[in-house]
Amino acid sequence: MSTSIIDQVIEQLRAMPQPLQRQVLKFARTLFSGQIQGVPGQQLLQFAGAIPREDLQMMQEAIEQDCERIDLNEW
């Protein structure tokens, strides 16, 4: 029989330093309380088209050129 999710979470928590344990607890409480953080998409529509098409193209090109490349000397 596989280990339950609760047991796996507890195992991970035991290995974490206390500040991270507090973060996990805060996150779990937020999930349980049903508090949704963020802004409904409808409110963001006012920003649609705010970035000029040329800038979007430049961002797209930068992403395609630099993403998924590994610099072994970076670390």
Q: Give the pLDDT confidence of 30-49 residue by residue, as tens digits.
A: 888 876 678 888 999 999 99
Q: Is 75 helix (H, G, I), strand (E, B) or coil?
A: coil
CA Rg, the chain, in Å? 21
Residue 6 confidence (pLDDT): 92
Higher pLDDT: 73 or 12? It is 12
| Interatomic CA distance for residues 19 and 39, integer angstroms | 28
Mean pLDDT on 3-25: 93
Mean pLDDT on 68-74: 71
Residue 75 confidence (pLDDT): 61
pLDDT at 3 over 80: no
| Interatomic CA distance for residues 12 and 25, integer angstroms | 13
Alpha carbon dihedral 62, 59, 57, 45, in 10-degree steps, equals: 160
